[in-house]
Structure 1
Amino acid sequence: MNQVVKRSEVAQEHTWKLEDLFPDQKAWDKEYDEVKRLIKEAAQFQGKLHDPAEIKRCFELEDQISLHTERLYVYSNMKHHEDMADPTYQALSEKARKLSVEVNEALSFITPEILALSEEEINALIRHPELGFYKRTLEEMLRQKAHILSKSEEALLAQVGSISRASETIFGMLNNADMKFPTIKNEEGQDVELTHGRYIQFLESKDRNVRKSAFDAMYATYRKNKNTLGATLSSNIGKNVFYAKVRKYPSVLEAALFGDNIPKEVYTNLIDTVHDSLPLLHRYMKLRKELLQVDELHMYDLFAPLVEEFKWDISYEEAKEMVLDSLKPLGDNYLNILRQGFEDRWIDVYENEGKRNGAYSWGAYGTHPYVLLNHKDNLNSMFTLAHEMGHAMHSYLSDESQEYRYAQYPIFLAEVASTLNEALLMDYLLKKTTDPKAKMYLLTYYADQFRTTLFRQTMFAEFEKIIHEKTEQGESLTHQDFSQIYYDLNKKYHGDHMVVDQDIEMEWARIPHFYNSFYVYKYSTGFSAATSFAKQILDQGQPAVERYLGFLRSGGSDYPISILQRAGVDMSTPEPIEQAMSVFRNIIEQMEELSK
């Protein structure tokens, strides 16, 4: 598959079978017309949502409309992603987008109307036998009631919505459009312009001068804009504090965790437990320094390759077999469904002209999930296959076990199944691989996942916690404050075997996630939960597998922390993070052994 082929030239067995969703365009059009008709029916419930029988009928209609709309939206977008240049499906996906806006508007009265009832009235509805199935929906509405304002106040907040996004918009414009980076010399001594996309490639260079030049140039550019970037981040924090106060949350952190009903302890426990495990990261830094054979390990050496360029050719057919082999611990039923996915064309495998890049798993309730890949015959692509099929299996088992309303799992849980598949694949490859070079390559790949996902994202999460708490206590933070806090955290996390270059103090200025506040911790908790599940499955066998499959079948039927607790992973305690750290320790020990 060297040259990129046209969509029409791709072998059918390597394309996804979207006919399972809609056999043809006529079927899509028919369902579209049905949604248009059903939308009109919604209005009849306005003003009646105090009566249990009417609420039940309204919720049933809401589910019917939502499911049809999801199917139309998913299909039209997946067709569009096959070839983004095809005008037919550009138009169809736009038609589906407009329909979903229309649907949201038509159904937007439901929650406010129920929330306008008193607490006693909502509690009476929760207890009403006719609304048994909707108990969780109504309880969730009641939980939110304390933070919903009066109609006129909500209208006012809605009007300032676009102003509230100003700091994020300004940061995006400055960071992506206005900021220009200098040229640096590449490995061949040619002048190459530094860009966001090339930065990590330069940091992964074997040539240390290239790494240092990229690092210096990147942060010198941000330093020139430090006043603007400091003011932008500060105003974003101010906006968060305003919304938390107005909506009567104790803090910005608790406001951010409220949606998923995550206790504050989950966040603080993550930071505390990672702190306790920092000696492990320091040990890895020491090992990195030894393997790179440098007198001093600098911040620009963190992505440098520890193994000579290692090429591992794995065809798609071999990748499928290895993924199936590695997931044997999850049992026959899991493997049979996975095999069915491989054989029944759930997957769009190879790149073609105009196809959307990257990879994802998607689908609509009632039909099996789909996976988009742009497969290359290498190790990374095999891990991507395992990862995306983890998402697909989570969706499949949730849909199979839950009614539509409770099938969708929340973002907090979204990366667990995919990361677990990668962990089992990694364990399988490490046990199977005899070539020391291949083994070191795998161990480095895995160790860096711990460093970048568990440690680095937790450091980001801690930075966010500190800057919000200081603002809530009445401090006005400037770029100097952000830089000092950020530099001190880097010193703490990376330890004494590392020279923490002064320039890293400006890194806060280039992290877009800081404008989507208190989000990054989910990467760390998801990674910890998945690694903990994998360790339990490999150590305990069947009982742990049963608990994990129960987790996959739970969908969104309960709050994410409760779903994980039932499956044997309690994220409000140190245990899952400690289990993940024991895996990290084992990786470092194996690397130390191989490097002797």
Structure 2
Amino acid sequence: MSEVPTRDGLPPEYRWRREHLFDSPEAWDDEADAFAEALDDLRAFEGRVTDDGETLLAMLDRYESIQAKESRLWVHARMGTLQDTTDEDAAARMRRFRSLHGEREKAVSYLDGALADAGRERIESFVGATEGLERYSSFLDERLREAAHAPSTEVLETLADLDAALDAPGRTLTTLKNADFDAPTVERPDASEATVTSQTRQRLLRHPDRAFRRRVHEAYLDELAEARSTRAQAFSDHLQGHDARASIRGYDSALDEALGGTFDPNLHAALRKTVVENLAPLERRNSLLSKRLGVETLHEWDTRMPFTEGEGPEIPYDKACDIVVSALEPLGETYQDRVESLLSERRVDVYETREKLTEVRGMALATDRGEAFLHLNYAEDLRSLYFFCHELGHAMHAVSSEATALDGVFPDHLVEVFSFTHEALLTRYLLDTGYPAGHVLDTALGKIPLFVGVRWMSFVDAVYDHLDAGRELTADRLGETYVEVQRAQRPGVEFGEGDERGWMVEHLSRDPHFSYLYVLGTSCGLALADRLHRGALAPETYHGVLREGGALSPDDAFERLGLDPVTAVEDALDVYDGYLDELA
């Protein structure tokens, strides 16, 4: 789609139906009112929740019901802010949701302390003796494990009150990159104008005219830099907010809290170390690209250029749906049927529209009852197809989960594994069915975020080192740190004046330690797709892991799926190199 349409200008079948959740904004308001009143039910258990198993069960049943309602309120409110970043009513509902979330946190703030006081032995005796309590055993085990990090009820209530304030820097960063971003225009080689948004930038940087690519790159950074000091301050506050939360909860750092005691810090370090010590495939990639472009030195505006001449295939959304369903055949007919059902129900917001959030190419939203939706900015190309297939992996995980609302639909740390499995299956299908191999492998190569993920891990670690040393995170300091990491980990790319602004392009509003999930996800996803194709992994085993959702520990999931994460990273590096062999 060459022009960005208005939302009303799109046919209804390409817009999601928020009415799946609530018939109208007023219905959302009514549910929010009822939710606020229901919190008294949770408060009523304070001081007696661990008197006996029946009381604990009654509290958890009510808690789960309320948690499920909360997730529906959140998804509907978030859909509103995604489809129109300037909609003040949608923003107001999101603010109200955050307030309700804080009130719910306060309403159950006594629970962790009560469980810790009762002790594991007493709680486990309740589980063994009380019919129906077993379904909450994984949630209770997690809460008991977290007992060492459970502040007092008073502190938890204060944290709940501060949630909105602590999250404010992230919202500021999102606003700066979306609603308050005045997209620049640049002149094309044919003298027409191109508007550079976070979405169109990706496509424009694949244009064959190098001077034009440079104009696109610099115009986008120039516009971001208009608020460079504000971004730097907001990012600093964002990082310190995460650190403050972690400290209050008794963790050594924000990373320690992100890993949560269920992901070995040594494994986290090993993932990064394995990639940093094996940059040769990336260096080879950049060398091959330099030769392909006929340039001595690659610059940032060259690095997104394809290896393959000519335009890749155009893939309308309806065709994309057929492709994805077919690509998922190794997961079984029942799985494919569920995908088709989801796609037929207007749960996907397909195309970029004016005022829509464009910072991300795709996002899956899901309630704790498995009601899933996809936010896309679909551009009818291979890269968009991959993002669509990826986000559909998240949605199918939610749809498949049978975990309680208290456990959640996604297991800790594995949230990206199954979406990248989708991508790897897609690559195999496209190659096997005659799609142009060069374009497919070129796209697949760019969708293996091993190196970019580890660069972000390194950048965040370096930035936290500045904070720990008491150094202010100015825009200049962030820029210097960013370029240092890029130079160390992007062999074959030249960084010069102006490139220090590149940190502003990143997803600054996300959890600062999110990127290890992508390193783990892409590696394990490639391994799982290979095992499925070879028959070494039964689809039923895969489905079983999805069904357990957040009730399953990462170690148990790795064991069931036959995965060793470090080996998976090593193998993924080999896959990356193999794609280069095909493209060379």
Contact 1:338 1:393 in 2 (8 A): yes
1:517 to 507, 512, 521: 512
3-state SS of 1:535 partner: helix
Supply the AA of the counterpart residue of 2:483.
Y
Equivalent-residue separation in structure 2 for 1:180 and 1:348 (angstroms): 27
Report the alpha carbon displacement of residue 443 of structure 1 after superposing the two structures with TM. Answer: 1.6
- Corresponding residue for residue 391 of structure 1: 394
Structure-to-structure mapping, 1:17-416, within 5 angstroms = 38-52=38-52, 53-71=54-72, 74=75, 98=96, 101-102=99-100, 105=103, 108-116=106-114, 118-119=116-117, 121=119, 123-128=121-126, 129=128, 130=130, 131-154=133-156, 185-189=187-191, 199-216=201-218, 241-258=243-260, 261-342=262-343, 345=345, 347-348=347-348, 360-364=363-367, 369-371=372-374, 378-380=381-383, 382-399=385-402, 402-410=403-411, 412-416=413-417
Work out the CA distance in 2 between the residues paired with 1:463 and 1:81.
28
Deviation at 1:286, TM superposition (A): 0.9
Q: Describe the superposition over 1:322-356 as per-residue Cα deviations: whole angstroms up to 9, x where unpaired.
A: 3233222222332333344456x364576699996
Task: Kindly indicate whether residue 576 of structure 2 is the aligned counterpart of residue 584 of structure 1.
Answer: yes
Cα contact 1:253–1:465 (8 A) shared by 2: no
Q: Cα offset for 1:557?
A: 0.8
Question: In the alignment, which residue of structure 1 is the partner of 2:464?
Answer: 468
Counterpart in the other structure of 2:443:
445
Q: Deviations over 1:357-410 (max 9, x none)?
A: 7755445455764556676655455445433432332222213xx344435115
User: 1:132-175 CA deviation, whole Å, 9 max, x = no partner?
Assistant: 33332223223333223345555665666666567657766777
Decide whether the 8 Å contact of 2:383 with 2:443 is kept in 1.
no
Paired residues of 1:233 and 1:515 also in contact (CA < 8 A) = no
Query: Whole-Å Cα distance in 2 between the matches of residues 514 and 77 of structure 1?
Result: 15
Q: Do 2:545 and 2:552's aligned partners in 1 also have CA atoms closer than 8 Å? A: no
Q: State the 1:236 CA deviation.
A: 5.4
Aligned residues: 574
Larger displacement relative to structure 2 (144-153 or 218-227): 218-227
- TM-score normalised according to structure 1 size: 0.78
Q: Equivalents in 2 of 1:506, 1:309: separation in Å?
A: 31
Residue 102 of structure 1: how far off its partner (Å): 4.6
User: Whose radius of gyration is greater, 1 or 2?
Assistant: 1
Aligned twin of 2:561: 567
Among residues 535, 540, 547, which one is paired with 1:541 in the alignment?
Answer: 535
The share of aligned pairs that are identical, in percent, is 23
How far 1:558 moved relative to its partner? 2.3
Deviates more, 1:176-185 or 1:124-133: 176-185
Quick one: which amino acid aligns to residue 132 of structure 1?
A: E
TM-score, structure 2 normalization: 0.80
- One-letter amino acid matched to 2:208: K
- 1:447 to 1:248, Cα distance in 2 relative to 1, 3 A: same
Q: Any idea what SS the aligned residue of 2:150 has?
A: coil
Which consecutive residues of structure 2, in runs of 5 or more, have no partner in the other structure? Answer: none
Equivalent position to 2:523, from 528, 539, 546: 528
Whichever structure has more helix as a proportion of its residues is 1
- For 1:418 and 1:489, the matched residues in 2 are separated by 28
Q: Distance in 2 between matches of 1:63 and 1:415?
A: 25
**In the TM superposition, what is the alpha-carbon distance from 1:579 to its structure 2 partner?**
2.0
Could you tell me which runs of 5 or more consecutive residues in structure 1 were left unpaired when the two chains were aligned: none
Q: CA deviation at 1:278?
A: 0.7
1:455 is displaced (CA, Å) by: 0.7
What is the alpha-carbon distance in structure 2 between the residues aligned to residue 2 and residue 520 of structure 1? 32
Distance in 2 (alpha carbons) for counterparts of 1:175 and 1:18: 25
Report SS of the residue matched to 1:334.
Answer: helix
Query: How far does residue 318 in structure 1 lie from its aligned partner after superposition?
Result: 3.8
Match of 2:44, SS? Answer: helix
* CA–CA distance in structure 2, aligned partners of residues 461 and 353 of structure 1: 32
Two-structure CA RMSD over aligned residues (Å): 4.7
1:31-78 alpha-carbon deviations (Å, 9 max, x no partner): 889767755544432332231221211111122233345456656877
Task: Please state whether the residue corresponding to 2:508 is helix, strand or coil.
Answer: helix
CA displacement at 1:256 relative to structure 2: 3.0
Match for 2:560: what amino acid? R
Is residue 298–residue 493 contact of structure 2 (8 Å, CA) maintained in 1?
yes
Give the deviation of 1:237 after TM superposition: 5.0
How far off is 1:282 after superposition? 0.5
Residues 166 and 363 of structure 1, relative CA distance in 2, 3 Å threshold: closer
Mapped partners of 1:16, 1:226: distance in 2: 35
